[in-house]
Amino acid sequence: MRDSDSILSLKELETLCHLYLDCRLTTLEEKELEYILLNPALQNPASGISIVQDVKRIMEFEDREYLKLNRSVKTLKGRNLVSFKLWGAAAAVIILILSSMLFFNVNDRGYINHTNNIDYTRQTAGKVFCEVYSNGRQLNQEEALEIANDNLKRMKAFEEKIQLIENEEKEKVEKFKTITKGMP
């Protein structure tokens, strides 16, 4: 293709337009043709050749479509980024809530379960953990251990009583089975 500074005859311009429509121009040549067609002498449709006007319209259309496409791709990229950030934030919040619930074991009333406040490592050396509240105040270790021992004795007595009750119930069932064995 010749330089845009060179003077083109209408015939040559028409040939170039035909080549453009046949897609036989390179991208660079197409751009040069576009530049040439911007010449004010070719702006008036009445003065121009019909094929030149057609090519101009096609070029304008292509430019518009290119711009539209470019804009939509940019918007899509932006949206993807926003959605990615949103999902990321949601994931982080969910993980944080779940892990804190696992760690603190928060019950349905919003209290932190007391068992988690106990430092289990204190037990490893065979030490005793004892915490007693009586009359609304925490007792010292000595008093607490005394009460804890009483409680354990009481619990043992309770379990013995339950065992006795269960044995009595079993005996009754066995007796009933023996009595009703021969019955039709």
Partner 1 sequence: MKKILTIIILFIGVLKTFASPPNLVVEKLFDGRYNRNPNVETTIFINNGIYYRGFTIKGDAKVISEIRAAMDKDLERSIQYTFHTDTEGSYISMQFINNEEKINSGLQIESPGNGFFYIQAKETAFK
CB neighbour list of residue 112: distance below 8 Å, 6 or more residues apart: 104, 105, 106
User: CB–CB of 6/36 below 8 Å?
Assistant: no
Contacting range for partner 1; rule: CB under 8 A; set: 29-37, 59-67, 107-115, 175-183: 107-115
Q: How far is the CB of 178 from partner 1 (least distance, A)?
A: 23
Q: Which is nearer to partner 1, 3 or 120 (CB)?
A: 120
Q: Which is nearer to partner 1, 11 or 127 (CB)?
A: 127
- State which of residues 40, 126, 182, 184 lies at the interface with partner 1 (CB under 8 A): 126
d(CA 29, CA 101): 67
Q: For the purposes of burial, counting CB atoms within 10 Å of the CB of 48, is it exposed (0-12), middle (13-18) or buried (19 or more)?
A: middle
Residues written for the chain: 184
Contact residues for partner 1, defined by CB under 8 A: 84, 87-88, 90-91, 94-95, 98-99, 102, 105, 107-109, 111-115, 118, 120, 123, 126, 128-136, 138, 144, 147-148, 151-152, 154-155, 158-159, 161-162, 165-166
